[in-house]
Amino acid sequence: MVKTQGRRGEVAAELHTDFPERFQEGGQFLAVGEDGVRRKLKLESSWPHRGQIVLKFEDVDSISAAEALVGCEVQISATDRAKLEPGSAYVSDLVGCSVFDGDHEIGLVKDIQFGAGEAPLLQVEGVREYDIPFAEAFLKNVDVRGKRINMVLPDGMLDVNAPITAEEKEQQKKSGP
C-alpha cells in the first residue's frame, strides 16, 4: 500500500495481480510489513482511483490507523489463491528459485521488483547481484516445484550495471576526467 487516501482509514495501493476481482467486500487479506509481520484484514470496500485501487478495511477507521498499513504488501493466503493455467506461476513462488541461462546457474531469486519496466525484475543473487527481466522473450520454462527458472538471455544482459573491473578502473585513470 503506497499512501493513505481520505480521512476514514482508506489506503491507496498499486495492483500487481491478474485477479483484481478478488477485492470484494468481505474478502480476507494479509497486510505484510517490510519486517515480515503479518496482519489479518477484512475488506469493507474498494474502488479504482487514478490507476490504483483504494482499499477500506474493517477496524481501520482513521488516517493514523491507515498510516500503519502504508508500505505493507496486500496478500491472500496460499490456500485462497486462484488456480492458474498450466505454465503459469505466482510471483511469490519465484523467490528462492535458481535461475539458469542455458546450463549456467546465475543465482537465486531473492526478490521481485515491479514498476521498472513492462516486465518485473527478478533480483538474483549469484557471483554478484543481477536484475533480470522476467520477460516471456527470455523465459524458457519455470519449474516451481523444482525451484528452477530456465532462461535464454541475450549476450551482455548479465553485464548491464556490472561493477567495473580492476582493468577498467586502470583504463579510466589513464584516460583522465
153 with 103, same domain: the answer is yes
66 with 96, same domain: the answer is no
| CATH label of the domain that carries residue 143 | 2.30.30.240
| CATH label of the domain that carries residue 69 | 2.40.30.60
Tens of pLDDT, residues 61-82: 999 999 999 999 998 887 888 8
Query: What's the total number of domains in the chain?
Result: 2
7 with 70, same domain: the answer is yes
Last residue of a domain, one of 28, 55, 78: 78
Domain limits for position 52: 3-78
Give mean pLDDT, residues 112-131.
86
29 with 67, same domain: the answer is yes
State the number of CA atoms in the 13 A half-sphere of 13 facing the CB. Answer: 25
72 with 130, same domain: the answer is no
Tell whether the model's pLDDT for residue 161 goes beyond 70.
no
pTM score over 0.85 = no
Tens of pLDDT, residues 35-52: 889 999 999 999 999 889
Tell whether the model's pLDDT for residue 135 goes beyond 80.
yes
128 with 61, same domain: the answer is no
Q: What is the pLDDT of residue 154?
A: 92
* Buried b / exposed e along 145-155 (16+ C-beta atoms within 10 A): eeeebbbebee
Q: What is the pLDDT of residue 45?
A: 95
pLDDT band for position 171 (cuts 50, 70, 90): confident
Cell triple for 98: 535458481
Last residue of a domain, one of 18, 47, 78: 78
Q: What is the pLDDT of residue 177?
A: 61
Q: What is the pLDDT of residue 118?
A: 79
73 with 97, same domain: the answer is no
